Amino acid sequence: MIAHHEVLPDPDAVARAAAERLVAVARAKPGRIGICLSGGSTPKLLYRLLAGPEFREALPWERLHWFFGDERVGDGPEAGSNRRLAQDAFGDLVPPGHLHPIPTDGTPQADAEAYAAKLQAWYGADRLDPGRPLFDLVLLGLGEDGHTASLFPGKPEAREDRAWVVAVPEAGLAPFVPRVSLTLPALAATPLILFLVTGAGKRAPLARLAAGEDLPSGHAKAWGETVWLLDEAAAG
Ligand code: 6PG
């Protein structure tokens, strides 16, 4: 079942609600803030809003560090597209060394291992301590098949409960390119997960989740709060 959801009029309202929560997270504590970004197309509005005149000044860019929940890898044109989505929106607002993309220059397994090492270096340990989150905020999307990040229904990576990052040789939905994905334990290690879900195409997976179907997105539950921001088209 969906933990807690808010239905907003349209994709702009969903992006705005997410931006306001992200600003609140950034202001809630001093020091560095780690945000894990989702990919696909839904977050484009949010990223543009954050970099736009209304929110740009509200964000402490010098304290923000941006990570990725998953990435398309391999040697096709899709490789690195989630990184490009953020880079194109944020541009030089992100100080050097504050964007932490998933590498795409090795084999999927090597890229996954490299990113796990990067996350462990950021965290300062290779085991998650329940009293200390890995991220301050995790953004996730919902695929029409019920996947999230690159954890697809029926694929073994969705059941990985030890590694922080896995290679996903076969995506369960287009683009059918190899992926690298954070696992559910790593995505959960945060006080707040925000799912951004918009459009009528997401009505079906939301209905499957509401009916209690066992889907990877339904298992993405933050240590703290998991909030689903839906627009009316998706909520139905
Ligand atoms: C990816 C994403 C993926 C995405 C969903 C929804 O790399 O594709 O991380 O999990 O969030 O597939 O994608 P849309 O936002 O494009 O519908």
CATH label of the domain that carries residue 222: 3.40.50.1360
Cα-to-chain-centroid distance, residue 77:
21
| Domain extent for 19 | 2-235
- In DSSP terms, 33 is beta-bridged to 64
The residue whose CA is least distant from atom 5 of ligand 1 is 143
Under a CB-based contact definition with an 8 Å cutoff, are residues 137 and 22 in contact?
yes
The count of structural domains within the chain is 1
CA of 178 to the centre of ligand 1 (A): 14
CA of 118 to the centre of ligand 1 (A): 23
Q: Is 70 in the pocket of ligand 1 (CB under 6 A)?
A: yes
> Which among 26, 29, 27 has a CA at the least distance from the CA of 66?
26
- Token representation of residue 186: 């790593």
- Token representation of residue 83: 């990184």
Tens place of pLDDT per residue across the chain (236 aa): 457 999 999 999 999 999 999 999 999 999 999 999 999 999 999 999 999 999 999 999 999 999 999 999 999 999 999 999 999 999 999 999 999 999 999 999 999 999 999 999 999 999 999 999 999 999 999 999 999 999 999 999 999 999 999 999 999 999 999 999 999 999 999 999 999 999 999 999 999 999 999 999 999 999 999 999 999 999 99
